[in-house]
Structures are given as structure tokens and as C-alpha cells.
Structure 1
């Protein structure tokens, strides 16, 4: 689910890992980015939303559970750490015999690549990445 949500959103790893069920289950995501402090709103496609709802049901999550909870032995409810997410991605990479650099940030980059391939719209990608508007003037297309 981590990879699926990552491939379908423009979120940085830190923002992705902090998502709670209530942030996704209603068809859109609205967060305040950790790095920039900017708000970000993103609509989910129906297929992704169906997958998320199935994942939530299978795991009996409530609205306030983290989408990617840690398996802590002390019972404290926390999201998985960036390091644990990196280990998960490394395990996936090994299982799929991916022989090139691929990590958590690759999820965000893959979103941009796929969006550009389909729409050829760099400005919208920059907006989805929540890049600074003053950077748009330096864009060469």
C-alpha cells in the first residue's frame, strides 16, 4: 500500500508516512507538508480509493490509525519511521530484482514521470509538488 499510495501522489516520504486513515478514506488527501509548511490537497482516483478502502477493512483500521503503522512491542501507536520505510522499499527492490537505485523518494519521482508521460504538463507537476511559484519563471520547456 505504501508503494501504491506513493506512486499515485506527489508527497514526500515524511508526509506519506504520517498519513492517517481519515486523510485518505474520503477520496482526497489534505495535508500540511512537513518540509515547507504549505498545505497540499490531492484527489484520489477511484481505483486507488477502492484499494485503500480494502486495505483499511482488511486491517480493521479506524479513522485515526496511521495508514502505515509501526509494529511496536510497547503498544504505542506510531507511524513507521523513514528508516523502516527504506527497509521495506529495499526488500521490495530485492524481491523484484530491481538492479538500479530505488528508494522512498523514487515514489515521488515516479509520480512525476508518469504524470509528465501522460499529460506533458510540467507546470502542473510543479504545482502538485508544491514547488515555489517563483521557480516557474526559470522553467525551460
Structure 2
């Protein structure tokens, strides 16, 4: 019996996941997963850096263990082959310290390792985690691993006023127009601008 999954994209198309748009929802997820230092660090690092989950999953403990706020490392993006940076801010640093204190973790271990296999988590398992967190705080919509990256861009734009040009550079997108589509600029937002009086 072949049961069609309504959340599975048709051949040749893709499911678009959404960013988490409200700071209150971000705080709720942080609180929800605070007792799991690995998951908490994954969430915090993802929403504070805007890197793809796949690139975060390749990190080893030694890559970030000695970093302080304001320091960064260069990573090579697996999708584009371009260099990018992972920056440590104060929030990420706190989450990292909690994670490192939690267990005697070896320098050579993956930062986001499966407890069973010690191999890095898969994108599928990160998808499942993000969906679970969203469900547990009653957040409706479609969420997954890419939500972390999109949340970074959305919050940078709406809360801090960062322009699409800077976000495009951060995301290694070819143009700000790609970033606008990526972050789901809505017609309502465009219409709102038209109400500004000059």
C-alpha cells in the first residue's frame, strides 16, 4: 500500500521551510531544550551564524573549544565550496561552555555527535529535532534543519535592520534578490513600505 506523504515534495519540487519569526518562540525553544546541552548549542549556533546545518554538523570539538566571543574560524561550505566564517558571540560562547562542561568530550569528537554512533547527526535527524521543538511550543508551519539558517536571516533583518545586501554576502548568495526570495519577503511587507509617507 503506497500512502502519499502530504509533506513530501512532488518530484522536481522542494518543501520550503520557514524561519522562526518571533523572539518569544525562539526563547521558548531555548528554554525547552536547555537541559540538553548538545541540542541547545546546535540551535543557538544555527540561529546566530546562519550557516547551513550540514556545515555545522562537520564541526569537531577542537574546532571551537578555545574560541572566545569575537573570535571566528574559517569553514568551507560543502554546498558552494566557498569559504565562510563561523563567529562566536556571547550567546554562542555561553552555550558552548555549558556543552563542554556537560561531559568529558574528546577534542576529536564531532560537536554534534549521535550518542549511539558518535558520528555526526544527520540532516534528517536535525530536521526531526527542529520539527519536534516547533510542535512542542505549538508553532504551526513547516520547520526543519534549514529553519535555523533562515531564522538567523529573518531576525537580523526584522530586529536589527540588517539589509539584504549584507545578508546575501553572509549567506554566499549570488544577489540580494535571491536572499529576498530565500527569506520569504511577503507582499504585505512590500505594501507596508508603500504606506510610508515622504
- TM-score under structure 2 normalisation? 0.61
Instruction: Call closer, same or farther: CA 1:78–1:139 in 2, change over 3 Å.
Output: closer
Deviations 1:17-68 (A, max 9, x none): 2122223231423211110111111321123212212112212223222111
Asked if residue 128 in structure 1 is aligned to residue 170 in structure 2, the reply is yes
Please give the alpha-carbon distance, in whole angstroms, between the structure 2 residues aligned to 1:61 and 1:97. 34
Asked if residue 29 in structure 1 is aligned to residue 70 in structure 2, the reply is no
| Conserved 8 A contact 2:49-2:149 | yes
Asked if residue 20 in structure 1 is aligned to residue 60 in structure 2, the reply is yes
* RMSD between aligned residues: 2.3
Moved over 6 A (4+): 137-140
Count, aligned residues: 136
The secondary structure found in structure 2 opposite 1:47 is helix
Please give the alpha-carbon distance, in whole angstroms, between the structure 1 residues aligned to 2:176 and 2:138. 38
Instruction: Call closer, same or farther: CA 1:136–1:99 in 2, change over 3 Å.
Output: closer
The secondary structure found in structure 2 opposite 1:8 is helix
Instruction: Call closer, same or farther: CA 1:125–1:71 in 2, change over 3 Å.
Output: same
User: Of residues 141, 145, 149 in structure 2, which corresponds to 1:104?
Assistant: 145
Larger radius of gyration: 2
Q: Indicate the residue corresponding to 2:130 in structure 1.
A: 89
Q: Indicate the residue corresponding to 1:77 in structure 2.
A: 118
> 5+ unaligned residues in a row in structure 2: which ranges?
1-40, 181-198
Asked if residue 47 in structure 1 is aligned to residue 91 in structure 2, the reply is yes
Deviation at 1:119, TM superposition (A): 2.9
Please give the alpha-carbon distance, in whole angstroms, between the structure 2 residues aligned to 1:82 and 1:51. 21
